[in-house]
Structure 1
Amino acid sequence: MPISVAIVDDKPSNRQILKDKLLRHGHFSIVMAASDGKDFLLQMQGLPEAALPDVVLMDLEMPNMDGVAAIASGSSLYPACKFVVLTIFDDEDKIFKAIKAGASGYLLKDESAANIADVLWQMYESGVGPVSPGIAFKILQLVQKNPDISFGKQKPETVPDFFQLSQREKEILQLLAKGLGYKEIGEQLHISVNTAKKHVINVYQKLHVNSRAQALRLVYEKGML
Protein backbone atom coordinates (compact mmCIF):
# COMPACT_ATOMS: atom_id res chain seq x y z
CA MET A 1 0.00 0.00 0.00
CA PRO A 2 1.55 3.37 -0.99
CA ILE A 3 2.41 6.01 1.60
CA SER A 4 0.07 8.98 1.24
CA VAL A 5 1.87 12.32 1.21
CA ALA A 6 0.86 15.98 1.47
CA ILE A 7 3.26 18.58 0.05
CA VAL A 8 3.19 22.10 1.49
CA ASP A 9 5.31 24.68 -0.32
CA ASP A 10 4.54 28.18 -1.54
CA LYS A 11 6.31 27.66 -4.89
CA PRO A 12 4.22 25.70 -7.45
CA SER A 13 7.36 24.50 -9.24
CA ASN A 14 8.74 23.00 -6.01
CA ARG A 15 5.47 21.20 -5.35
CA GLN A 16 5.35 19.76 -8.86
CA ILE A 17 9.00 18.67 -8.89
CA LEU A 18 8.68 16.91 -5.54
CA LYS A 19 5.40 15.31 -6.57
CA ASP A 20 6.92 13.96 -9.80
CA LYS A 21 9.99 12.60 -7.99
CA LEU A 22 7.99 10.81 -5.30
CA LEU A 23 5.53 9.33 -7.78
CA ARG A 24 8.43 7.92 -9.80
CA HIS A 25 9.59 6.08 -6.69
CA GLY A 26 6.45 3.94 -6.82
CA HIS A 27 5.72 3.74 -3.09
CA PHE A 28 3.93 7.07 -2.68
CA SER A 29 0.63 8.70 -3.51
CA ILE A 30 0.14 12.47 -3.36
CA VAL A 31 -3.14 13.29 -1.65
CA MET A 32 -2.64 17.04 -1.29
CA ALA A 33 -0.55 19.97 -2.50
CA ALA A 34 -0.93 23.18 -0.51
CA SER A 35 0.55 26.65 -1.02
CA ASP A 36 1.04 27.55 2.68
CA GLY A 37 0.16 26.47 6.20
CA LYS A 38 -3.30 28.04 6.13
CA ASP A 39 -4.15 26.38 2.81
CA PHE A 40 -2.92 23.05 4.21
CA LEU A 41 -5.07 23.20 7.34
CA LEU A 42 -8.14 24.25 5.36
CA GLN A 43 -7.69 21.31 2.98
CA MET A 44 -7.15 18.93 5.91
CA GLN A 45 -10.51 19.96 7.37
CA GLY A 46 -12.20 18.84 4.15
CA LEU A 47 -10.66 15.36 4.15
CA PRO A 48 -12.33 12.33 5.76
CA GLU A 49 -10.17 10.65 8.40
CA ALA A 50 -9.40 7.70 6.12
CA ALA A 51 -7.99 10.06 3.48
CA LEU A 52 -5.60 11.99 5.74
CA PRO A 53 -1.95 11.86 4.65
CA ASP A 54 0.52 9.57 6.38
CA VAL A 55 3.32 12.10 5.88
CA VAL A 56 3.28 15.88 5.47
CA LEU A 57 6.34 17.45 3.80
CA MET A 58 6.38 21.00 5.12
CA ASP A 59 8.37 23.99 3.90
CA LEU A 60 9.10 26.64 6.56
CA GLU A 61 9.09 30.11 5.01
CA MET A 62 5.61 30.66 3.53
CA PRO A 63 3.05 33.51 3.48
CA ASN A 64 -0.21 33.54 5.49
CA MET A 65 0.96 30.81 7.86
CA ASP A 66 4.51 29.51 8.03
CA GLY A 67 5.56 25.91 8.43
CA VAL A 68 6.26 26.05 12.16
CA ALA A 69 2.76 27.33 13.00
CA ALA A 70 1.20 24.80 10.60
CA ILE A 71 3.12 21.94 12.23
CA ALA A 72 2.16 23.15 15.70
CA SER A 73 -1.54 23.12 14.80
CA GLY A 74 -1.47 20.09 12.53
CA SER A 75 0.47 17.80 14.87
CA SER A 76 -2.11 18.43 17.62
CA LEU A 77 -5.21 18.23 15.41
CA TYR A 78 -3.95 15.24 13.38
CA PRO A 79 -1.66 13.21 15.65
CA ALA A 80 -1.56 10.23 13.27
CA CYS A 81 0.19 12.33 10.60
CA LYS A 82 3.97 12.57 10.55
CA PHE A 83 5.26 16.08 9.84
CA VAL A 84 8.65 16.31 8.13
CA VAL A 85 10.28 19.66 7.45
CA LEU A 86 11.72 19.98 3.94
CA THR A 87 13.50 23.30 3.65
CA ILE A 88 16.64 25.17 2.67
CA PHE A 89 17.07 26.56 6.21
CA ASP A 90 19.50 24.92 8.62
CA ASP A 91 19.89 27.55 11.35
CA GLU A 92 19.50 26.43 14.95
CA ASP A 93 16.51 28.65 15.75
CA LYS A 94 14.36 27.19 12.97
CA ILE A 95 15.43 23.63 13.82
CA PHE A 96 14.55 24.16 17.49
CA LYS A 97 11.17 25.74 16.75
CA ALA A 98 10.20 23.05 14.22
CA ILE A 99 11.05 20.23 16.64
CA LYS A 100 9.21 21.98 19.47
CA ALA A 101 6.21 22.44 17.18
CA GLY A 102 6.01 18.68 16.60
CA ALA A 103 8.12 17.89 13.54
CA SER A 104 9.07 14.20 13.27
CA GLY A 105 11.96 14.88 10.89
CA TYR A 106 13.98 17.65 9.30
CA LEU A 107 15.35 17.36 5.76
CA LEU A 108 17.17 19.82 3.54
CA LYS A 109 16.03 20.41 -0.02
CA ASP A 110 19.48 19.62 -1.37
CA GLU A 111 18.94 15.95 -0.46
CA SER A 112 18.56 13.78 -3.54
CA ALA A 113 15.04 12.72 -4.48
CA ALA A 114 16.03 9.07 -4.05
CA ASN A 115 17.31 9.71 -0.53
CA ILE A 116 14.17 11.67 0.47
CA ALA A 117 12.01 8.81 -0.79
CA ASP A 118 14.14 6.20 0.99
CA VAL A 119 14.14 7.94 4.38
CA LEU A 120 10.40 8.59 4.21
CA TRP A 121 9.83 4.90 3.51
CA GLN A 122 12.10 3.97 6.42
CA MET A 123 10.20 6.36 8.69
CA TYR A 124 6.91 4.78 7.67
CA GLU A 125 8.23 1.29 8.45
CA SER A 126 10.25 2.02 11.60
CA GLY A 127 8.61 5.14 13.02
CA VAL A 128 11.99 6.88 13.25
CA GLY A 129 11.92 10.40 11.81
CA PRO A 130 14.48 11.28 9.12
CA VAL A 131 17.13 13.94 9.73
CA SER A 132 19.64 15.19 7.19
CA PRO A 133 23.26 14.63 8.35
CA GLY A 134 23.94 18.38 8.46
CA ILE A 135 20.86 18.92 10.64
CA ALA A 136 21.82 16.07 12.97
CA PHE A 137 25.19 17.78 13.47
CA LYS A 138 23.45 21.10 14.20
CA ILE A 139 21.19 19.44 16.79
CA LEU A 140 24.23 17.84 18.42
CA GLN A 141 25.95 21.23 18.58
CA LEU A 142 22.80 22.84 19.98
CA VAL A 143 22.58 20.29 22.79
CA GLN A 144 26.30 20.49 23.52
CA LYS A 145 26.19 24.28 23.79
CA ASN A 146 23.00 24.17 25.88
CA PRO A 147 23.19 21.03 28.07
CA ASP A 148 19.98 21.92 29.91
CA ILE A 149 17.97 22.28 26.71
CA SER A 150 14.80 20.23 26.46
CA PHE A 151 12.76 19.55 23.36
CA GLY A 152 9.81 18.65 25.56
CA LYS A 153 7.59 21.02 27.51
CA GLN A 154 9.59 23.95 28.88
CA LYS A 155 9.08 26.85 31.21
CA PRO A 156 6.57 29.32 29.76
CA GLU A 157 9.18 32.04 29.22
CA THR A 158 11.29 29.73 27.01
CA VAL A 159 8.48 28.32 24.88
CA PRO A 160 8.48 29.55 21.27
CA ASP A 161 5.40 31.53 20.27
CA PHE A 162 4.35 29.53 17.23
CA PHE A 163 1.29 31.63 16.46
CA GLN A 164 2.44 35.21 17.14
CA LEU A 165 -0.33 35.88 19.65
CA SER A 166 -0.62 39.38 21.07
CA GLN A 167 -0.39 39.91 24.82
CA ARG A 168 -4.16 40.44 24.98
CA GLU A 169 -4.76 37.19 23.07
CA LYS A 170 -2.52 35.35 25.53
CA GLU A 171 -4.60 36.80 28.37
CA ILE A 172 -7.73 35.58 26.59
CA LEU A 173 -6.26 32.07 26.39
CA GLN A 174 -5.53 32.10 30.11
CA LEU A 175 -9.14 33.05 30.84
CA LEU A 176 -10.49 30.45 28.42
CA ALA A 177 -8.42 27.86 30.27
CA LYS A 178 -10.18 28.89 33.48
CA GLY A 179 -13.53 28.13 31.84
CA LEU A 180 -14.72 31.73 31.56
CA GLY A 181 -17.32 32.72 28.98
CA TYR A 182 -17.49 35.93 26.92
CA LYS A 183 -19.24 37.88 29.67
CA GLU A 184 -16.80 36.84 32.39
CA ILE A 185 -13.81 37.52 30.10
CA GLY A 186 -15.19 40.99 29.40
CA GLU A 187 -15.60 41.70 33.12
CA GLN A 188 -12.08 40.48 33.89
CA LEU A 189 -10.49 42.60 31.16
CA HIS A 190 -12.91 45.57 31.43
CA ILE A 191 -14.06 45.22 27.82
CA SER A 192 -17.46 44.64 26.24
CA VAL A 193 -18.87 41.19 25.59
CA ASN A 194 -18.63 41.79 21.83
CA THR A 195 -14.97 42.80 22.10
CA ALA A 196 -14.24 39.70 24.18
CA LYS A 197 -15.97 37.55 21.56
CA LYS A 198 -13.91 39.16 18.78
CA HIS A 199 -10.69 38.44 20.69
CA VAL A 200 -11.68 34.79 21.17
CA ILE A 201 -12.49 34.46 17.46
CA ASN A 202 -9.10 35.99 16.59
CA VAL A 203 -7.36 33.49 18.87
CA TYR A 204 -9.18 30.59 17.23
CA GLN A 205 -8.25 31.89 13.79
CA LYS A 206 -4.58 32.22 14.68
CA LEU A 207 -4.52 28.73 16.18
CA HIS A 208 -6.63 27.47 13.28
CA VAL A 209 -9.09 25.70 15.57
CA ASN A 210 -12.87 25.82 15.90
CA SER A 211 -13.49 25.41 19.62
CA ARG A 212 -12.24 26.09 23.12
CA ALA A 213 -11.42 22.39 23.57
CA GLN A 214 -9.24 22.29 20.45
CA ALA A 215 -7.50 25.54 21.39
CA LEU A 216 -6.68 24.42 24.91
CA ARG A 217 -5.50 20.97 23.82
CA LEU A 218 -3.17 22.58 21.29
CA VAL A 219 -1.62 25.14 23.64
CA TYR A 220 -1.25 22.66 26.50
CA GLU A 221 0.48 20.15 24.21
CA LYS A 222 2.89 22.84 23.01
CA GLY A 223 3.59 24.03 26.56
CA MET A 224 2.10 27.48 25.96
CA LEU A 225 -0.04 27.38 29.10
Structure 2
Amino acid sequence: MDSQREPVRVVVVDDEQLVRMALRLVIDGEPDLTVVAEAADGDAAITVVDEQRPDVVLMDVRMPGRDGLSATRELLTRPAPPRVLMLTTFDSDELVLGALRAGALGFVLKDTQPPRILDAVRTVADGEPALSPAAAARVIAAATGPRSAHARNSSREAARKQLSALTERERETARAIADGLGNAEIARRLGITVATVKAHTGNLFTKLAVENRVQIALVVRDAEE
Protein backbone atom coordinates (compact mmCIF):
# COMPACT_ATOMS: atom_id res chain seq x y z
CA MET A 1 0.00 0.00 0.00
CA ASP A 2 1.23 3.51 -0.82
CA SER A 3 3.01 4.91 2.26
CA GLN A 4 1.70 8.38 1.39
CA ARG A 5 -1.89 7.33 1.82
CA GLU A 6 -3.82 7.86 5.02
CA PRO A 7 -4.24 4.67 7.05
CA VAL A 8 -7.28 2.56 6.24
CA ARG A 9 -9.88 3.33 8.93
CA VAL A 10 -11.45 0.19 10.39
CA VAL A 11 -14.42 -0.46 12.67
CA VAL A 12 -14.35 -3.82 14.48
CA VAL A 13 -17.74 -5.38 15.28
CA ASP A 14 -17.90 -8.48 17.48
CA ASP A 15 -19.93 -9.41 20.54
CA GLU A 16 -16.86 -10.81 22.33
CA GLN A 17 -14.67 -8.16 23.92
CA LEU A 18 -11.55 -10.32 23.83
CA VAL A 19 -11.96 -10.81 20.08
CA ARG A 20 -12.33 -7.07 19.56
CA MET A 21 -9.24 -6.40 21.70
CA ALA A 22 -7.19 -8.98 19.81
CA LEU A 23 -8.23 -7.61 16.43
CA ARG A 24 -7.50 -4.05 17.52
CA LEU A 25 -4.01 -5.03 18.68
CA VAL A 26 -3.27 -6.80 15.40
CA ILE A 27 -4.69 -4.05 13.17
CA ASP A 28 -3.24 -1.11 15.09
CA GLY A 29 0.19 -2.76 14.87
CA GLU A 30 0.18 -2.02 11.12
CA PRO A 31 1.22 1.46 9.92
CA ASP A 32 -1.30 1.48 7.09
CA LEU A 33 -4.32 0.39 9.18
CA THR A 34 -6.06 1.85 12.23
CA VAL A 35 -9.10 0.90 14.31
CA VAL A 36 -11.29 3.98 14.82
CA ALA A 37 -14.12 2.33 16.78
CA GLU A 38 -15.56 -0.92 18.09
CA ALA A 39 -19.11 -2.23 18.44
CA ALA A 40 -20.62 -5.26 20.16
CA ASP A 41 -23.73 -5.76 18.01
CA GLY A 42 -25.33 -4.76 14.74
CA ASP A 43 -27.24 -1.74 16.05
CA ALA A 44 -24.14 -0.32 17.71
CA ALA A 45 -22.21 -0.98 14.50
CA ILE A 46 -24.61 1.16 12.49
CA THR A 47 -24.31 3.99 15.01
CA VAL A 48 -20.49 4.02 15.08
CA VAL A 49 -20.19 3.65 11.31
CA ASP A 50 -22.48 6.64 10.80
CA GLU A 51 -20.32 8.59 13.26
CA GLN A 52 -16.87 7.48 12.09
CA ARG A 53 -17.43 6.78 8.38
CA PRO A 54 -14.70 4.11 8.22
CA ASP A 55 -13.24 2.59 5.08
CA VAL A 56 -13.74 -1.00 6.23
CA VAL A 57 -16.03 -2.70 8.74
CA LEU A 58 -14.78 -6.02 10.12
CA MET A 59 -18.18 -7.52 10.92
CA ASP A 60 -19.02 -10.60 12.97
CA VAL A 61 -21.89 -12.59 11.45
CA ARG A 62 -23.69 -13.94 14.51
CA MET A 63 -24.34 -11.57 17.43
CA PRO A 64 -27.14 -11.05 19.94
CA GLY A 65 -29.78 -8.61 18.74
CA ARG A 66 -29.19 -7.41 15.19
CA ASP A 67 -26.79 -9.79 13.46
CA GLY A 68 -24.01 -8.93 11.06
CA LEU A 69 -25.94 -9.74 7.90
CA SER A 70 -28.81 -7.43 8.83
CA ALA A 71 -26.41 -4.66 9.86
CA THR A 72 -24.48 -5.05 6.59
CA ARG A 73 -27.64 -4.69 4.53
CA GLU A 74 -28.50 -1.54 6.44
CA LEU A 75 -25.03 -0.03 6.14
CA LEU A 76 -24.85 -0.60 2.41
CA THR A 77 -27.93 1.55 1.85
CA ARG A 78 -25.88 4.55 3.01
CA PRO A 79 -24.31 6.98 0.54
CA ALA A 80 -20.64 6.01 0.10
CA PRO A 81 -20.97 2.94 2.32
CA PRO A 82 -17.95 1.24 3.89
CA ARG A 83 -16.50 -2.00 2.54
CA VAL A 84 -17.60 -4.90 4.73
CA LEU A 85 -15.45 -7.91 5.59
CA MET A 86 -17.39 -10.62 7.41
CA LEU A 87 -15.58 -12.46 10.19
CA THR A 88 -16.99 -15.53 11.93
CA THR A 89 -16.23 -18.85 13.57
CA PHE A 90 -18.91 -20.46 11.40
CA ASP A 91 -18.40 -21.80 7.90
CA SER A 92 -21.51 -22.79 5.98
CA ASP A 93 -22.97 -22.24 2.53
CA GLU A 94 -25.86 -20.28 4.02
CA LEU A 95 -23.58 -17.85 5.86
CA VAL A 96 -21.12 -17.35 3.01
CA LEU A 97 -23.81 -16.76 0.39
CA GLY A 98 -25.92 -14.75 2.83
CA ALA A 99 -22.99 -12.43 3.49
CA LEU A 100 -22.36 -11.94 -0.22
CA ARG A 101 -26.04 -11.38 -0.94
CA ALA A 102 -26.05 -8.80 1.86
CA GLY A 103 -23.29 -6.99 -0.03
CA ALA A 104 -20.18 -7.99 1.91
CA LEU A 105 -16.99 -7.82 -0.13
CA GLY A 106 -15.17 -10.50 1.80
CA PHE A 107 -15.56 -13.37 4.23
CA VAL A 108 -12.87 -14.88 6.46
CA LEU A 109 -12.98 -17.27 9.39
CA LYS A 110 -11.83 -16.24 12.87
CA ASP A 111 -9.25 -19.03 12.92
CA THR A 112 -7.57 -17.45 9.88
CA GLN A 113 -3.97 -16.46 10.65
CA PRO A 114 -3.62 -12.72 11.53
CA PRO A 115 -1.47 -11.89 8.47
CA ARG A 116 -4.22 -13.25 6.20
CA ILE A 117 -6.88 -11.24 8.02
CA LEU A 118 -4.75 -8.11 7.59
CA ASP A 119 -4.31 -8.89 3.89
CA ALA A 120 -8.09 -9.34 3.60
CA VAL A 121 -8.70 -5.93 5.21
CA ARG A 122 -6.31 -4.30 2.75
CA THR A 123 -7.82 -6.14 -0.20
CA VAL A 124 -11.36 -5.15 0.71
CA ALA A 125 -10.26 -1.56 1.32
CA ASP A 126 -9.05 -1.50 -2.30
CA GLY A 127 -12.45 -2.68 -3.49
CA GLU A 128 -11.35 -6.22 -4.25
CA PRO A 129 -13.13 -9.35 -2.98
CA ALA A 130 -11.44 -11.28 -0.18
CA LEU A 131 -12.63 -14.79 0.57
CA SER A 132 -10.88 -17.38 2.68
CA PRO A 133 -10.06 -20.51 0.64
CA ALA A 134 -12.79 -22.44 2.46
CA ALA A 135 -15.35 -19.72 1.80
CA ALA A 136 -14.34 -19.42 -1.86
CA ALA A 137 -14.71 -23.17 -2.32
CA ARG A 138 -18.21 -23.05 -0.88
CA VAL A 139 -19.25 -20.18 -3.14
CA ILE A 140 -18.05 -22.09 -6.21
CA ALA A 141 -19.74 -25.27 -5.04
CA ALA A 142 -23.01 -23.46 -4.47
CA ALA A 143 -22.80 -21.80 -7.86
CA THR A 144 -21.99 -24.98 -9.75
CA GLY A 145 -23.78 -27.58 -7.64
CA PRO A 146 -26.47 -29.88 -9.01
CA ARG A 147 -29.69 -28.15 -10.01
CA SER A 148 -32.69 -29.17 -12.05
CA ALA A 149 -32.54 -28.69 -15.82
CA HIS A 150 -35.31 -26.10 -15.56
CA ALA A 151 -33.43 -24.14 -12.89
CA ARG A 152 -30.20 -24.24 -14.91
CA ASN A 153 -31.98 -23.10 -18.07
CA SER A 154 -33.76 -20.28 -16.27
CA SER A 155 -30.53 -19.06 -14.66
CA ARG A 156 -28.65 -19.34 -17.95
CA GLU A 157 -31.25 -17.35 -19.87
CA ALA A 158 -31.43 -14.63 -17.22
CA ALA A 159 -27.64 -14.34 -17.02
CA ARG A 160 -27.19 -14.23 -20.79
CA LYS A 161 -29.82 -11.51 -21.02
CA GLN A 162 -27.90 -9.50 -18.42
CA LEU A 163 -24.60 -9.95 -20.25
CA SER A 164 -26.15 -9.01 -23.60
CA ALA A 165 -26.64 -5.46 -22.29
CA LEU A 166 -22.89 -5.04 -21.80
CA THR A 167 -20.33 -3.61 -24.17
CA GLU A 168 -17.64 -5.94 -25.49
CA ARG A 169 -15.07 -4.48 -23.07
CA GLU A 170 -17.47 -4.84 -20.14
CA ARG A 171 -18.04 -8.49 -21.05
CA GLU A 172 -14.27 -9.06 -21.23
CA THR A 173 -13.90 -7.42 -17.82
CA ALA A 174 -16.68 -9.58 -16.39
CA ARG A 175 -15.00 -12.69 -17.80
CA ALA A 176 -11.69 -11.70 -16.23
CA ILE A 177 -13.37 -11.09 -12.88
CA ALA A 178 -14.93 -14.55 -13.12
CA ASP A 179 -11.43 -15.92 -13.71
CA GLY A 180 -10.44 -14.46 -10.34
CA LEU A 181 -8.19 -11.67 -11.64
CA GLY A 182 -7.58 -8.45 -9.73
CA ASN A 183 -7.70 -5.00 -11.32
CA ALA A 184 -4.00 -4.89 -12.24
CA GLU A 185 -4.17 -8.37 -13.80
CA ILE A 186 -7.29 -7.45 -15.78
CA ALA A 187 -5.58 -4.30 -17.02
CA ARG A 188 -2.64 -6.36 -18.29
CA ARG A 189 -4.88 -8.96 -19.93
CA LEU A 190 -7.01 -6.39 -21.75
CA GLY A 191 -4.26 -3.84 -22.44
CA ILE A 192 -6.05 -1.03 -20.62
CA THR A 193 -5.38 1.05 -17.51
CA VAL A 194 -6.43 0.11 -13.99
CA ALA A 195 -8.61 3.22 -13.94
CA THR A 196 -10.44 1.94 -17.01
CA VAL A 197 -10.89 -1.46 -15.37
CA LYS A 198 -12.44 0.24 -12.36
CA ALA A 199 -14.76 2.22 -14.64
CA HIS A 200 -15.87 -0.96 -16.43
CA THR A 201 -16.38 -2.70 -13.08
CA GLY A 202 -18.53 0.18 -11.86
CA ASN A 203 -20.63 -0.16 -15.00
CA LEU A 204 -20.98 -3.90 -14.34
CA PHE A 205 -22.30 -3.25 -10.83
CA THR A 206 -24.98 -0.99 -12.31
CA LYS A 207 -25.93 -2.98 -15.40
CA LEU A 208 -25.93 -6.38 -13.71
CA ALA A 209 -27.60 -5.03 -10.53
CA VAL A 210 -24.97 -6.63 -8.30
CA GLU A 211 -23.09 -5.38 -5.24
CA ASN A 212 -19.72 -7.13 -5.44
CA ARG A 213 -17.30 -8.86 -7.80
CA VAL A 214 -18.20 -12.36 -6.64
CA GLN A 215 -21.77 -11.73 -7.82
CA ILE A 216 -20.41 -10.65 -11.21
CA ALA A 217 -18.53 -13.95 -11.40
CA LEU A 218 -21.69 -15.88 -10.57
CA VAL A 219 -23.59 -14.18 -13.41
CA VAL A 220 -20.83 -15.14 -15.84
CA ARG A 221 -20.81 -18.73 -14.60
CA ASP A 222 -24.61 -18.98 -14.84
CA ALA A 223 -24.43 -17.77 -18.44
CA GLU A 224 -21.88 -20.46 -19.33
CA GLU A 225 -23.59 -23.42 -17.64
What is the TM-score normalised by the length of structure 2? 0.61
Aligned sequence identity (%): 28
Cα deviation code 1:136-193 (max 9, x no counterpart): 001111011156597xxxxxxxxxxxxxxxxxxxxxxxxxxxxxxxxxxxxxxxxxxx
Query: Are residues 52 and 138 of structure 1, via their aligned partners in 2, closer, same or farther at CA, if it must alter by over 3 Å?
Result: same
Report 1:159-198 matches (<5 A).
none
Report 1:99-178 matches (<5 A).
99-125=100-126, 127-145=127-145, 148=152
CA distance in 1, matches of 2:113, 2:107: 14
CA distance in 1, matches of 2:140, 2:104: 17
Indicate conservation of the 8 Å contact 2:59/2:86, yes or no.
yes
CA distance in 2, matches of 1:88, 1:78: 30
Alpha-carbon distance, 1:28 to partner: 0.9
Per the alignment, residue 33 of structure 1 pairs with: 38
CA distance in 2, matches of 1:221, 1:78: 16
Deviant stretches of 4+, over 6 Å: none
Report 1:12-91 matches (<5 A).
12-45=17-50, 47=51, 51-91=52-92
CA distance in 2, matches of 1:124, 1:86: 15
Structure with bigger gyration radius: 1
CA distance in 2, matches of 1:72, 1:123: 17
What is the TM-score normalised by the length of structure 1? 0.61
Query: Are residues 118 and 133 of structure 1, via their aligned partners in 2, closer, same or farther at CA, if it must alter by over 3 Å?
Result: same
Query: Are residues 80 and 43 of structure 1, via their aligned partners in 2, closer, same or farther at CA, if it must alter by over 3 Å?
Result: closer
Q: Does 1:4 align with 2:9?
A: yes
1:8 is aligned with what amino acid?
A: V
Alpha-carbon distance, 1:44 to partner: 2.9
CA distance in 1, matches of 2:210, 2:130: 22
Query: Are residues 108 and 73 of structure 1, via their aligned partners in 2, closer, same or farther at CA, if it must alter by over 3 Å?
Result: same
Structure 1 unaligned segments of length 5 or more: list them.
151-219
Query: Are residues 78 and 61 of structure 1, via their aligned partners in 2, closer, same or farther at CA, if it must alter by over 3 Å?
Result: farther
SS in 1 for 2:125: helix
2:22 is aligned with what amino acid?
A: I
CA distance in 2, matches of 1:128, 1:117: 14
Cα deviation code 1:38-68 (max 9, x no counterpart): 11112233x1xxx410000000110110001
CA distance in 2, matches of 1:68, 1:59: 9
